[in-house]
Amino acid sequence: MGRVREVVTGARRIVVKVGSSSLTTAAGGLDEQRVDALVDVLGGLATHGREVVLVSSGAIAAGLAPLRLRRRPRDLATQQAAASVGQGLLIGRYAAGFARHGLTVGQVLLTVDDVTRRVHYRNAYRTLRKLLDLGAVPIVNENDTVATEEIRFGDNDRLAALVAALVDADLLVLLSDVDALYTGSPSDPASRRIPYVTGDDDLAGVKVSTPGKSGVGTGGMVTKVEAARIATGFGIPVVLTSAPQAGSVMTGDDVGTLFRAAEHRPAARLFWLAHATAPRGRLHLDPGAVTAVVARRKSLLPAGITAVDGSFAAGDPVDLVDAGSGAPVARGLVNYDAVELPALLGRSTPELAAALGPGYEREVVHRDDLVLL
């Protein structure tokens, strides 16, 4: 396992995600000792030449006790109220903690739109990049005070994976209340720690739906494994372990579970399209079009589309769906508005050009703007 130490200790830019249950008490308030312990580990890294981005849950949980709420609220309005109280407490504690190490923190609150719309995505990158250039520690969280049910991540694991790709991190560390990925429930004596994951084959038969124990978080092992898939697919190794093990992880000790990164990093644009976009509609493909797009890596033409769903404009991401099974096979940036497409379906591009003009002799989705799912 010497390779684990090399991957971790050699990482210069590190994104660390910590869950609510690792920062708060059972009553819902911030556990100052836990926060300070994590800050000491990360502050030590940042003062020794490493760049650290912290993706921190905990705003809603931190706001429970001050608002005399006994448990995490289910309704969105109360969650947003708790977040508005808790976010200030959380960032204040981080600011005080990192100040002990001579470090400044910068708060970056993101919504789904900020990482799923290309223009916002670039803006988020510039902000994070400038904070790191100035020697600050970015503290990232979902903007729970304004996010609605329709435009929220629901947990910060996927957000952390997207942030890791956004800043071109060398390592993603997912900290929770479980010290590793196990073959079953961690409380089951028969379960074994999985120290190293090289691919999905290593997860065959593994039960990854273990929920957090505290009741104040929203994620579970499913979201963490999915976040690891996203990050490793972009060439970023991932370590999953518990917050108390953070110091051991950073020194390269064989703790937690290491997910090996893919050897070949995809183009950033295609990675963004696959993982950081929400489809605005669906194009249903006949069998010939599915074969052309998936097997032959061709562009999608109007002749192969049988139906259109959704409301989208040219340039929006859409899912390409097998009309027979209903399963998405690809995602791409569409070249037509939703209102234009129905009149074009089933017709060849030369036919359309002859009838409607040369502007219609183009692909619905060009192969360079398309990624297989």
* C-alpha–C-alpha distance, residues 148 and 130, integer Å: 29
Give the orientation angle of helix 268-275 with respect to helix 156-166, to 10 degrees: 170
Annotation-wise, does 218 bind a ligand?
Answer: yes
Residue 144, marked binder: yes
d(CA 234, CA 265): 5
Q: Flag whether 221 is marked binding.
A: yes
The answer to whether 222 is a known ligand-binding residue is yes
Is 210 labelled as part of a ligand binding site? no
Q: Does 57 show up as a binding residue in the annotation? A: yes
Flag whether 242 is marked binding.
no
252 is in an annotated binding site: no
Residues whose CB falls within 8 Å of the CB of residue 197, separated by 6 or more in sequence, listed in order: 181, 203, 228, 257, 258, 259, 260
Is 240 in a helix, a strand, or coil? strand
Is 311 among the annotated ligand-binding positions?
no
Comparing C-alpha atoms, which of 108, 109, 101, 89 is closest to residue 32? 89
d(CA 159, CA 64): 23
- Sequence-distant (6+) residues with CB within 8 A of 50 are 11, 12, 13, 14
Question: 298: annotated binding-site residue?
Answer: no
Given phi > 0 = left and psi -120 to 50 = alpha, else beta, which region is 31? beta
State the Cα–Cα distance between residues 346 and 354, nearest whole angstrom.
15
Report the amino acid identity of residue 276: A
Establish whether 17 is an annotated binding residue.
yes
The closest of 158, 271, 149 to 223, measured between CA atoms, is 158
Which phi and psi (to 5°) does residue 116 adopt?
A: -110, -15
What residues are designated binding site for ATP?
17, 176-177, 218-224
What residues are designated binding site for substrate?
57, 144, 156
What residues are designated binding site?
17, 57, 144, 156, 176-177, 218-224
